[in-house]
Amino acid sequence: MVGKRAVAGLGLVLVVLSMIIIAGFVSLVIIRTSGSFQETTIQAGNSVNSNVASHLLVTEITATDGTDSYLEDVQVVAHLTPGSDIMSLSQLTILAGASDASSSYQYAGVDAEAAYSFTGYTIYSDQEFDELHAPFYGTNKVQIGFFAFVNLNVDIDGDGINETARSCRSDVGNLATNPCFGQASRTRWLMINVSSAGIQYVRPVNASGGVRLIGSGGGQFGNFLTNISGYGLISIFGKNNNSNGINANQVHLFRNPYYLANDHDNDQEYEWMGLNESHAIFFFSSDGNVSVQYNSTEGVAVPLGGDISSIGATFDKSRTSFTTLAGDPAGYLETYGLTTAKRTIDAGDTFTVSPPSVGQGTFAVTYAKRGPDYSLGSVHEDDVIKIHFRLPSSIEGGESFDIRLIPRTGTTEEVVVTAPEAINQELEYVWPVKMS
Ligand SMILES: [Ca+2]
Ligand SMILES: [Ca+2]
Ligand SMILES: [Ca+2]
C-alpha cells in the first residue's frame, strides 16, 4: 500500500466561509458550553438588522448511533425565546464544525422525510472507500450446456477462481439425488457454481415471473439482478429459441454494486458504482433506473489511473471531475495506491469519491411539541422543535464539535458539545451533560 493522500485546506476554507455567512446574517451570537453552562453574548460583525427578531434556544442534544463507538447524527431540541418573531425554517442556516470537517445546512423542506426515504436529511461529504474489487461484470459467449460447466469469466466472490455455469433439466425436487441430468427435455434451472459458496440454482422466468422452460418455441426468458448467495447478482435475459439451453452471453454476473453515500445528482436517490480493471463506473439515479443501467453497463466510466489486473500495479489519478450520462456535474474521483492482490484496491489506498459540492447538507425538523399556531415549515413561540442532521464527520468519545443555529435576522445560538468519553448507546445524550 502506498497510503492515503492527505486532504488539506478544505476545513479552513469552510471556517472562513462560515464566518462570512455569520457576519452577514446576524448581530448577536450566544455561545453556550456544556462544561460551565456559561452564557456569553458577543458582538459578531456589523449589525445588519436591529429589529426584534428570532432566537432559537437549544435545550437538549442527542446523537446517534453510538453502538459502533462513533456518533454521526444529531437531534437538537430547541424553542424560540420569548418575544421572538415567528421563524421560517427556510430562513435558518445551521453550521456544524468538528475537528476535521465542517458543514452548512439548509432546511430540507416539509416533505423531506418522504423525499429522503432514509432519514429526511442529507449531507455532502467525501466518501473514502475501504477494500474494493473488480471486475463487476463478466460474460462469455459459449453455450451453457448440460454436461459441463462453462467459465463465465467473472470472479464474483473474489477468491481468484472464476465462476462457472451449467444448464439443468431436472426440477428442483430431484436436485439432491440426480442433479440435472435427463428427466426432462427442457432446461429448468441454471446452475451457477460460485467457487467459494457452491452451486446456486437460478430459475429462468417469463415476463410475468412464472417458470419458463427453455428449449421449446419462442418467448422471452429472464431473471433480473437476482442475488447469488450474497456475493453478487445474476441477470439472465434471452429468447427461448435454443433447444440446448442458455447461451453464456445471455447470463451476466455482477459483483455487488458499491453504493455511494452522497446523492451526487441531487435527486434524493442514491447512486451505484462498479469497477473493472481500469475504470470506476458510476450509475446515477437521474439517468434512469440504476439497476437497469448496471445490468447493461451503461454507466459513466472514470479512469482509475492504472490497470489493477495484476499485483504490484500502481494507480494514481489526481482529483478528476465526472458527470452524469446526461452531462451534469456529478463529482470527483481521486485514487492513489499499489495493488497487493489482483483486481483489488486495498483499504489503505486512496479511493475517494466526492460529490460536486462538499460541506453542504440539509436538516429536517420534527415537532416535539406543537403550539396553538403550529404550522409545518416554521417555528412559533410555543413550538418545541427537534432538528435532525448528519454531523460533518463521525465523532468519537471525548471529541468536541460545535453547532450554530443562525437565523436570517436575530441571534445566533452556538452550542459547544463534548461527546461522552464512552460511546456505546444507540442514542447518547451529549448536551447538556447530565450530572450524576
Ligand atoms: Ca455510529
Ligand atoms: Ca470465484
Ligand atoms: Ca441520486
Question: What secondary structure, in 3-state letters, does 154-204 show?
Answer: CCCCCCCCCCEEEEECCCHHHCCCCCCCCCCCCECEEEEEECCCEEEEECC
348, 307 Cβ separation under 8 angstroms: no
228, 194 Cβ separation under 8 angstroms: yes
A 10 A CB-CB count for 312 gives 8
Grid cell listed for 430 = 451529549
User: What stretch of H or E contains 22?
Assistant: helix 10-25
- What is the C-alpha radius of gyration for the chain, rounded to an integer number of angstroms? 27
Which ligand approaches the C-alpha of residue 124 most closely?
3
Predicted pLDDT at 99: 87
125, 105 Cβ separation under 8 angstroms: no
Q: Could you tell me the distance, in angstroms and rounded to a whole number, from the CA of residue 247 to the centre of ligand 2?
A: 20
Q: Could you tell me the distance, in angstroms and rounded to a whole number, from the CA of residue 282 to the centre of ligand 3?
A: 11
Predicted pLDDT at 220: 78
Q: Could you tell me the distance, in angstroms and rounded to a whole number, from the CA of residue 155 to the centre of ligand 2?
A: 4
Predicted pLDDT at 230: 86
Q: Could you tell me the distance, in angstroms and rounded to a whole number, from the CA of residue 304 to the centre of ligand 3?
A: 22
Which ligand approaches the C-alpha of residue 161 most closely?
2
Predicted pLDDT at 6: 45
A 10 A CB-CB count for 6 gives 7
Residue 205 DSSP code:
B
Which ligand approaches the C-alpha of residue 260 most closely?
3
Predicted pLDDT at 355: 94
Measured between alpha carbons, how far is 45 from 64 in angstroms, rounded to an integer?
34
Q: Could you tell me the distance, in angstroms and rounded to a whole number, from the CA of residue 426 to the centre of ligand 1?
A: 8
Which ligand approaches the C-alpha of residue 71 most closely?
1
Contacts of 8 (CB under 8 A, 6+ apart): none
Q: Identify any residues that bridge with 401 across adjacent strands, giving them in sequence order.
A: 417
Predicted pLDDT at 144: 81
Q: What is the dihedral of CA 257, 121, 96, 380, to 10 degrees?
A: 180
- For residue 315, give the nearest of 341, 342, 345 by alpha carbon: 345
Which ligand approaches the C-alpha of residue 394 most closely?
1
Measured between alpha carbons, how far is 102 from 360 in angstroms, rounded to an integer?
9
Count H helices, E strands: the chain? 3, 34
A 10 A CB-CB count for 39 gives 9
Q: Could you tell me the distance, in angstroms and rounded to a whole number, from the CA of residue 390 to the centre of ligand 2?
A: 38
pTM score above 0.75: no
Predicted pLDDT at 334: 98
Predicted pLDDT at 203: 83
Q: Give residues whose Cβ lies within 5 Å of ion ligand 3.
A: 263, 265, 267, 269, 285
Contacts of 338 (CB under 8 A, 6+ apart): 1, 2, 312, 313, 314, 315, 349
Predicted pLDDT at 176: 52
Which ligand approaches the C-alpha of residue 155 most closely?
2
* DSSP string for 39-85: EEEEE-S--S--S--EEEEEEEEEEE-GGGS-EEEEEEEEEEPTTPP
Q: Could you tell me the distance, in angstroms and rounded to a whole number, from the CA of residue 69 to the centre of ligand 1?
A: 6
Q: Could you tell me the distance, in angstroms and rounded to a whole number, from the CA of residue 104 to the centre of ligand 2?
A: 45
Which ligand approaches the C-alpha of residue 163 most closely?
2
Q: In what order do the strands lie in the sheet with 350-354?
A: 127-128, 350-354, 329-338, 314-323
A 10 A CB-CB count for 40 gives 10
Q: Could you tell me the distance, in angstroms and rounded to a whole number, from the CA of residue 259 to the centre of ligand 2?
A: 22
A 10 A CB-CB count for 364 gives 23
Predicted pLDDT at 34: 52
Q: Could you tell me the distance, in angstroms and rounded to a whole number, from the CA of residue 164 to the centre of ligand 2?
A: 9
Q: Could you tell me the distance, in angstroms and rounded to a whole number, from the CA of residue 245 to the centre of ligand 1?
A: 49
Q: Give the chain's end-to-end CA distance (angstroms, integer).
A: 47
pLDDT tens sequence for the chain (436 residues): 444 554 444 444 444 444 444 444 445 677 776 544 444 444 444 334 444 589 999 999 999 999 999 999 999 999 999 999 999 999 999 999 998 889 999 998 887 765 544 567 888 889 999 999 887 776 666 678 777 888 888 888 888 899 998 887 766 555 555 556 555 567 778 888 999 988 888 888 877 777 777 766 667 788 888 888 888 898 888 776 555 567 777 888 888 899 998 889 988 788 999 998 999 999 999 999 999 899 888 899 999 999 999 999 999 999 999 999 999 999 999 999 999 998 899 999 999 999 998 889 999 999 999 999 999 999 999 999 999 999 999 999 999 999 999 999 999 999 999 999 999 999 999 999 765 5
65: preceding bond cis by omega (within 30 degrees): yes
A 10 A CB-CB count for 347 gives 13
What single letter denotes the amino acid at residue 9? Answer: G
Domain boundaries, the chain: 10-125+359-431, 137-255, 258-354
Angle at 169 between CA 168 and CA 173, to 5 degrees: 90
Q: Identify any residues that bridge with 233 across adjacent strands, giving them in sequence order.
A: 227, 254
Residue 16 DSSP code:
H
Q: Could you tell me the distance, in angstroms and rounded to a whole number, from the CA of residue 394 to the centre of ligand 1?
A: 7
Q: Could you tell me the distance, in angstroms and rounded to a whole number, from the CA of residue 356 to the centre of ligand 3?
A: 12
